[in-house]
Amino acid sequence: MNIEDASFYSEEEVIKNEKDLVVERVPTGIPKLDELLQGGLPKRSITLVSGPPGSGKTMLCFHFVDEGIKRGERCLYITVDQWVNSILVHSHAAGFNFLPAIDNGLFKLMHVDLEKVSAYNEISDEILTGGYQRIVVDSLSPFADTPLVLGGSVEFEKAPIIDKLSAYPSETRPVARFHVRRLFDFLHKVPTTAMVTSELFDRTHSLSRDSVSEFLADGVILLDVDPTMDRRKLTIWKMRGTKHTLKPHDVLITEQGLVFKNELR
Binding footprint of ligand ATP on the chain (CB under 6 A)? 51, 53-59, 93-94, 199, 253-255
**Closer residue to ligand ATP, CB minimum distance, 97 or 254:** 254
Contacts of 73 (CB under 8 A, 6+ apart): 106, 132, 133, 134
Would strands 75-79 and 107-111 be described as parallel, antiparallel, or unpaired? Answer: parallel
108: nearest Cα among 119, 92, 123: 123
In whole angstroms, how close is the CB of 28 to ligand ATP at the nearest point? 14
Interacting partner of 86 out of Mg ion, ligand ATP, none (Cβ under 5 to 8 A depending on kind): none
Interacting partner of 100 out of ligand ATP, Mg ion, none (Cβ under 5 to 8 A depending on kind): none
**Closer residue to ligand ATP, CB minimum distance, 43 or 203:** 203
**Closer residue to ligand ATP, CB minimum distance, 69 or 80:** 80
Work out whether 91 is an interface residue with Mg ion (CB under 5 A). Answer: no
| Cis status of the peptide bond prior to 153, with omega within 30 of 0 | no
Helices (H) and strands (E) in the chain, counts: 8, 11
Among 28, 58, 141, 153, binds Mg ion (CB under 5 A): 58
In whole angstroms, how close is the CB of 16 to ligand ATP at the nearest point? 40
**Closer residue to Mg ion, CB minimum distance, 58 or 153:** 58
3-state helix vs strand vs coil in the chain, percent to 5: 30, 25, 45
Radius of gyration of the chain from its Cα atoms, rounded to whole angstroms: 18
